[in-house]
Structure 1
Amino acid sequence: MEILKILGAGFSMAGPASKRRLDEIASGTLVHFSRKAYLDSVIAGIYRNGPDRAKCRIRLSGDRGTGMGEMLRTTMRDYRIIDFNLFQGAAGRRFHDFVYFFLGEPAQWQVGSQNFGGSGEFATIRVKGTDALADPRRRFFYRRGLFWEGDRVVIIKGGYEGLAEVEGMPINLKAPFI
Protein backbone atom coordinates (compact mmCIF):
# COMPACT_ATOMS: atom_id res chain seq x y z
CA MET A 1 0.00 0.00 0.00
CA GLU A 2 2.93 2.34 0.61
CA ILE A 3 3.83 2.20 -3.09
CA LEU A 4 0.46 3.81 -3.87
CA LYS A 5 1.21 6.60 -1.40
CA ILE A 6 4.62 7.18 -2.98
CA LEU A 7 3.07 7.31 -6.46
CA GLY A 8 0.37 9.67 -5.19
CA ALA A 9 3.04 11.99 -3.79
CA GLY A 10 4.61 12.12 -7.24
CA PHE A 11 1.34 13.34 -8.75
CA SER A 12 0.68 16.14 -6.30
CA MET A 13 0.76 19.92 -6.70
CA ALA A 14 1.45 22.73 -4.24
CA GLY A 15 -0.84 25.71 -3.97
CA PRO A 16 -1.03 28.61 -1.52
CA ALA A 17 -1.66 27.29 2.00
CA SER A 18 -5.23 27.76 3.21
CA LYS A 19 -6.13 29.43 6.51
CA ARG A 20 -6.86 25.98 7.96
CA ARG A 21 -3.44 24.72 6.84
CA LEU A 22 -1.66 27.81 8.23
CA ASP A 23 -3.36 27.14 11.58
CA GLU A 24 -2.12 23.55 11.42
CA ILE A 25 1.40 24.81 10.68
CA ALA A 26 1.20 27.25 13.62
CA SER A 27 0.33 24.47 16.03
CA GLY A 28 2.83 21.97 14.67
CA THR A 29 6.45 21.35 13.82
CA LEU A 30 8.08 21.54 10.40
CA VAL A 31 10.75 18.93 9.63
CA HIS A 32 13.51 19.39 7.04
CA PHE A 33 16.31 17.01 6.10
CA SER A 34 19.70 18.37 5.10
CA ARG A 35 22.91 16.58 4.29
CA LYS A 36 25.39 16.90 7.15
CA ALA A 37 27.99 18.15 4.67
CA TYR A 38 25.85 21.28 4.08
CA LEU A 39 25.30 22.21 7.73
CA ASP A 40 28.21 24.67 7.79
CA SER A 41 26.28 26.84 5.33
CA VAL A 42 22.89 26.24 7.03
CA ILE A 43 23.67 26.85 10.71
CA ALA A 44 24.38 30.53 11.40
CA GLY A 45 25.02 30.01 15.10
CA ILE A 46 24.62 27.61 18.02
CA TYR A 47 22.97 28.87 21.19
CA ARG A 48 24.79 28.30 24.46
CA ASN A 49 21.69 29.17 26.46
CA GLY A 50 19.02 29.58 23.81
CA PRO A 51 15.28 29.22 24.01
CA ASP A 52 14.20 25.74 25.12
CA ARG A 53 12.77 25.01 21.67
CA ALA A 54 15.85 26.04 19.71
CA LYS A 55 19.47 25.08 19.77
CA CYS A 56 20.49 26.92 16.62
CA ARG A 57 19.85 29.85 14.35
CA ILE A 58 19.65 28.61 10.77
CA ARG A 59 19.44 29.99 7.23
CA LEU A 60 17.79 27.65 4.74
CA SER A 61 17.62 28.64 1.11
CA GLY A 62 16.40 26.82 -1.96
CA ASP A 63 18.24 29.27 -4.19
CA ARG A 64 20.85 27.40 -6.18
CA GLY A 65 22.26 30.36 -8.13
CA THR A 66 21.57 31.91 -11.52
CA GLY A 67 23.63 29.74 -13.85
CA MET A 68 21.77 27.71 -16.49
CA GLY A 69 22.44 24.41 -14.71
CA GLU A 70 21.30 25.74 -11.33
CA MET A 71 18.16 27.30 -12.81
CA LEU A 72 17.32 24.03 -14.61
CA ARG A 73 17.70 22.00 -11.39
CA THR A 74 15.56 24.51 -9.48
CA THR A 75 12.87 24.46 -12.17
CA MET A 76 12.76 20.66 -12.17
CA ARG A 77 12.42 20.70 -8.37
CA ASP A 78 9.77 23.42 -8.19
CA TYR A 79 7.63 22.81 -11.28
CA ARG A 80 4.69 21.59 -9.18
CA ILE A 81 4.24 24.85 -7.24
CA ILE A 82 1.29 26.97 -8.34
CA ASP A 83 2.32 30.53 -7.52
CA PHE A 84 0.06 33.29 -8.85
CA ASN A 85 2.26 36.03 -7.33
CA LEU A 86 5.52 34.98 -8.92
CA PHE A 87 7.60 38.01 -7.93
CA GLN A 88 6.05 38.58 -4.48
CA GLY A 89 6.27 36.84 -1.13
CA ALA A 90 9.95 35.90 -1.16
CA ALA A 91 10.93 38.17 1.76
CA GLY A 92 13.53 40.02 -0.29
CA ARG A 93 15.07 36.87 -1.74
CA ARG A 94 14.89 35.54 -5.29
CA PHE A 95 11.47 34.51 -6.58
CA HIS A 96 12.66 30.93 -7.09
CA ASP A 97 13.89 30.44 -3.50
CA PHE A 98 11.69 27.63 -2.12
CA VAL A 99 12.47 25.49 0.94
CA TYR A 100 10.63 22.23 1.63
CA PHE A 101 9.48 20.87 5.01
CA PHE A 102 7.28 18.03 6.16
CA LEU A 103 4.36 19.08 8.35
CA GLY A 104 5.05 16.95 11.43
CA GLU A 105 7.30 13.93 11.69
CA PRO A 106 7.21 12.15 8.32
CA ALA A 107 6.37 8.49 7.84
CA GLN A 108 8.95 6.33 6.05
CA TRP A 109 6.94 6.41 2.79
CA GLN A 110 6.95 10.23 2.86
CA VAL A 111 10.74 10.33 3.14
CA GLY A 112 11.05 7.60 0.50
CA SER A 113 8.94 9.56 -1.98
CA GLN A 114 11.40 12.48 -2.03
CA ASN A 115 14.33 12.80 -4.39
CA PHE A 116 17.09 14.18 -2.18
CA GLY A 117 19.84 13.44 -4.70
CA GLY A 118 23.48 12.96 -3.86
CA SER A 119 24.86 10.87 -1.05
CA GLY A 120 25.85 11.27 2.57
CA GLU A 121 24.24 11.28 6.00
CA PHE A 122 21.32 13.51 6.90
CA ALA A 123 20.69 15.86 9.77
CA THR A 124 17.11 16.55 10.87
CA ILE A 125 16.06 20.17 11.30
CA ARG A 126 12.90 20.91 13.27
CA VAL A 127 11.26 24.33 13.24
CA LYS A 128 8.32 25.32 15.39
CA GLY A 129 5.44 26.34 13.15
CA THR A 130 4.99 29.66 14.94
CA ASP A 131 8.65 30.49 14.27
CA ALA A 132 8.26 29.71 10.57
CA LEU A 133 5.16 31.91 10.35
CA ALA A 134 6.80 34.81 12.23
CA ASP A 135 7.95 36.59 9.05
CA PRO A 136 4.78 37.87 7.31
CA ARG A 137 6.71 38.57 4.08
CA ARG A 138 7.01 34.88 3.28
CA ARG A 139 4.39 32.88 1.40
CA PHE A 140 3.49 29.33 2.34
CA PHE A 141 2.40 26.56 0.00
CA TYR A 142 1.02 23.11 0.77
CA ARG A 143 1.44 20.10 -1.50
CA ARG A 144 -1.49 17.76 -1.98
CA GLY A 145 -3.10 15.58 -4.59
CA LEU A 146 -6.30 16.36 -6.42
CA PHE A 147 -8.39 13.96 -4.34
CA TRP A 148 -5.90 12.78 -1.72
CA GLU A 149 -3.87 14.21 1.11
CA GLY A 150 -0.43 13.84 -0.48
CA ASP A 151 2.85 13.83 1.41
CA ARG A 152 2.11 16.74 3.79
CA VAL A 153 4.90 18.95 2.44
CA VAL A 154 4.97 22.65 3.32
CA ILE A 155 6.96 24.91 1.00
CA ILE A 156 8.19 28.31 2.15
CA LYS A 157 8.92 30.88 -0.53
CA GLY A 158 11.90 32.99 0.43
CA GLY A 159 13.55 30.27 2.48
CA TYR A 160 13.63 30.22 6.27
CA GLU A 161 15.87 32.07 8.67
CA GLY A 162 15.33 31.68 12.39
CA LEU A 163 15.24 29.32 15.35
CA ALA A 164 15.57 25.56 14.92
CA GLU A 165 16.54 22.36 16.61
CA VAL A 166 19.10 20.36 14.65
CA GLU A 167 19.57 16.66 15.30
CA GLY A 168 22.69 14.95 13.99
CA MET A 169 25.17 17.84 13.98
CA PRO A 170 28.72 16.69 13.23
CA ILE A 171 31.35 17.32 15.89
CA ASN A 172 33.55 19.37 13.53
CA LEU A 173 30.85 21.94 12.73
CA LYS A 174 32.31 25.43 12.22
CA ALA A 175 29.25 27.46 13.32
CA PRO A 176 29.93 30.08 16.02
CA PHE A 177 28.36 30.08 19.47
CA ILE A 178 25.85 32.86 20.05
Structure 2
Amino acid sequence: MPTAPGSRPPGTDALDAIVGQWERERPDLDPVPMALLGRITRLYWMVDERLNLVFGRFGLGRGEFDVLGTLRRSGPPFELTAGELSGSMMVTSGAVTKRVDRLERAGLVGRRTAEGDARGRLIRLTEEGRELIDRAVTAHVENERRLVSGLTAEEQETLSGLLRRLTLTMPDARP
Protein backbone atom coordinates (compact mmCIF):
# COMPACT_ATOMS: atom_id res chain seq x y z
CA MET A 1 0.00 0.00 0.00
CA PRO A 2 1.55 3.38 -0.99
CA THR A 3 2.18 5.92 1.73
CA ALA A 4 0.92 9.49 1.62
CA PRO A 5 3.38 12.15 0.40
CA GLY A 6 5.64 13.24 3.24
CA SER A 7 4.80 10.21 5.38
CA ARG A 8 7.04 7.24 6.03
CA PRO A 9 6.33 3.63 6.80
CA PRO A 10 6.54 2.85 10.54
CA GLY A 11 10.05 2.15 11.77
CA THR A 12 11.73 4.23 9.04
CA ASP A 13 13.25 7.67 9.04
CA ALA A 14 14.09 10.32 6.46
CA LEU A 15 17.47 8.72 5.79
CA ASP A 16 15.76 5.51 4.67
CA ALA A 17 14.03 7.48 1.91
CA ILE A 18 17.25 9.24 0.91
CA VAL A 19 19.16 5.94 0.80
CA GLY A 20 16.37 4.38 -1.26
CA GLN A 21 16.64 7.18 -3.79
CA TRP A 22 20.41 6.76 -4.06
CA GLU A 23 20.05 3.00 -4.39
CA ARG A 24 17.62 3.56 -7.24
CA GLU A 25 19.66 6.26 -8.98
CA ARG A 26 23.17 4.98 -8.28
CA PRO A 27 23.05 1.23 -7.54
CA ASP A 28 26.82 1.16 -7.98
CA LEU A 29 27.31 3.11 -4.71
CA ASP A 30 27.18 1.67 -1.20
CA PRO A 31 24.88 4.07 0.73
CA VAL A 32 25.49 2.54 4.18
CA PRO A 33 28.17 5.10 5.21
CA MET A 34 25.91 7.91 3.94
CA ALA A 35 23.03 6.61 6.05
CA LEU A 36 25.19 6.14 9.14
CA LEU A 37 26.87 9.54 9.00
CA GLY A 38 23.62 11.22 7.98
CA ARG A 39 21.94 9.80 11.07
CA ILE A 40 24.84 10.88 13.29
CA THR A 41 24.63 14.40 11.84
CA ARG A 42 20.86 14.65 12.23
CA LEU A 43 21.10 13.23 15.72
CA TYR A 44 23.73 15.86 16.60
CA TRP A 45 21.40 18.66 15.46
CA MET A 46 18.49 17.20 17.43
CA VAL A 47 20.55 16.65 20.57
CA ASP A 48 22.25 20.05 20.36
CA GLU A 49 18.92 21.83 20.24
CA ARG A 50 17.61 19.90 23.25
CA LEU A 51 20.79 20.37 25.27
CA ASN A 52 20.85 24.11 24.62
CA LEU A 53 17.31 24.42 26.00
CA VAL A 54 18.55 23.14 29.37
CA PHE A 55 21.71 25.28 29.32
CA GLY A 56 19.56 28.31 28.54
CA ARG A 57 17.46 27.73 31.67
CA PHE A 58 20.62 28.52 33.63
CA GLY A 59 21.61 31.51 31.51
CA LEU A 60 24.39 29.55 29.85
CA GLY A 61 25.38 28.65 26.33
CA ARG A 62 27.14 25.39 25.52
CA GLY A 63 30.56 27.07 25.72
CA GLU A 64 29.97 28.56 29.15
CA PHE A 65 28.54 25.28 30.40
CA ASP A 66 31.69 23.52 29.13
CA VAL A 67 34.01 25.94 30.97
CA LEU A 68 32.10 25.68 34.24
CA GLY A 69 31.75 21.91 33.91
CA THR A 70 35.45 21.46 33.13
CA LEU A 71 36.45 23.51 36.16
CA ARG A 72 33.96 21.64 38.38
CA ARG A 73 35.05 18.17 37.29
CA SER A 74 38.72 19.11 37.79
CA GLY A 75 38.12 18.88 41.56
CA PRO A 76 39.29 21.21 44.30
CA PRO A 77 40.44 23.92 44.04
CA PHE A 78 38.36 24.00 40.79
CA GLU A 79 41.10 25.93 39.06
CA LEU A 80 42.90 25.46 35.73
CA THR A 81 45.09 27.43 33.36
CA ALA A 82 43.62 28.63 30.08
CA GLY A 83 45.78 26.05 28.32
CA GLU A 84 44.46 23.24 30.51
CA LEU A 85 40.90 24.40 29.87
CA SER A 86 41.57 24.63 26.15
CA GLY A 87 43.02 21.12 26.00
CA SER A 88 40.30 19.57 28.11
CA MET A 89 37.52 21.23 26.11
CA MET A 90 39.23 20.75 22.71
CA VAL A 91 38.80 24.40 21.69
CA THR A 92 41.26 27.19 20.91
CA SER A 93 42.70 29.37 23.65
CA GLY A 94 40.92 32.33 22.01
CA ALA A 95 37.56 30.59 22.42
CA VAL A 96 38.38 29.88 26.06
CA THR A 97 39.31 33.53 26.65
CA LYS A 98 35.99 34.79 25.27
CA ARG A 99 34.01 32.31 27.35
CA VAL A 100 35.98 33.06 30.50
CA ASP A 101 35.53 36.82 29.95
CA ARG A 102 31.74 36.38 29.86
CA LEU A 103 31.74 34.10 32.90
CA GLU A 104 34.01 36.46 34.83
CA ARG A 105 31.65 39.40 34.14
CA ALA A 106 28.82 37.23 35.49
CA GLY A 107 30.80 36.47 38.66
CA LEU A 108 30.94 32.72 37.94
CA VAL A 109 34.73 32.47 37.55
CA GLY A 110 37.70 34.53 38.66
CA ARG A 111 41.24 34.90 37.39
CA ARG A 112 44.44 35.14 39.36
CA THR A 113 48.13 35.18 38.61
CA ALA A 114 49.80 31.80 38.86
CA GLU A 115 52.38 31.47 41.60
CA GLY A 116 55.88 31.60 40.17
CA ASP A 117 54.68 32.74 36.71
CA ALA A 118 53.58 36.38 36.51
CA ARG A 119 52.38 35.84 32.92
CA GLY A 120 50.36 32.72 33.78
CA ARG A 121 46.70 33.05 34.76
CA LEU A 122 44.58 30.56 36.63
CA ILE A 123 40.83 30.48 36.11
CA ARG A 124 38.91 29.47 39.20
CA LEU A 125 35.29 28.59 39.74
CA THR A 126 33.64 30.99 42.20
CA GLU A 127 31.23 29.72 44.83
CA GLU A 128 28.37 31.17 42.77
CA GLY A 129 29.75 29.41 39.69
CA ARG A 130 30.03 26.11 41.54
CA GLU A 131 26.46 26.32 42.81
CA LEU A 132 25.20 27.14 39.32
CA ILE A 133 27.10 24.35 37.55
CA ASP A 134 26.02 21.82 40.17
CA ARG A 135 22.37 22.66 39.45
CA ALA A 136 22.93 22.85 35.69
CA VAL A 137 24.82 19.56 35.42
CA THR A 138 22.11 17.77 37.42
CA ALA A 139 19.47 19.05 34.97
CA HIS A 140 21.79 18.25 32.04
CA VAL A 141 22.31 14.63 33.07
CA GLU A 142 18.58 14.16 33.63
CA ASN A 143 17.93 15.64 30.17
CA GLU A 144 20.51 13.32 28.62
CA ARG A 145 18.95 10.35 30.40
CA ARG A 146 15.58 11.33 28.95
CA LEU A 147 17.05 11.76 25.46
CA VAL A 148 18.49 8.23 25.37
CA SER A 149 15.56 6.56 27.13
CA GLY A 150 14.40 5.00 23.85
CA LEU A 151 17.31 2.56 24.16
CA THR A 152 17.80 -0.08 26.82
CA ALA A 153 20.81 0.21 29.11
CA GLU A 154 22.48 -2.58 27.13
CA GLU A 155 21.78 -0.81 23.81
CA GLN A 156 23.19 2.43 25.23
CA GLU A 157 26.40 0.63 26.24
CA THR A 158 26.66 -1.05 22.83
CA LEU A 159 26.08 2.18 20.92
CA SER A 160 28.54 4.06 23.13
CA GLY A 161 31.17 1.40 22.49
CA LEU A 162 30.58 1.45 18.74
CA LEU A 163 30.78 5.25 18.61
CA ARG A 164 33.99 5.17 20.71
CA ARG A 165 35.47 2.68 18.26
CA LEU A 166 34.43 4.82 15.29
CA THR A 167 35.97 7.88 16.96
CA LEU A 168 39.24 6.06 17.63
CA THR A 169 39.46 4.61 14.13
CA MET A 170 38.34 7.72 12.18
CA PRO A 171 40.92 8.47 9.51
CA ASP A 172 42.27 11.95 8.95
CA ALA A 173 39.45 14.02 7.45
CA ARG A 174 41.59 15.42 4.65
CA PRO A 175 41.35 13.37 1.44
- The structure where helix makes up a greater share of residues is 2
Higher relative contact order (CA 8 A, sep 6+): 1
Larger Rg: 2
TM-score (norm 1): 0.23
TM-score (norm 2): 0.23
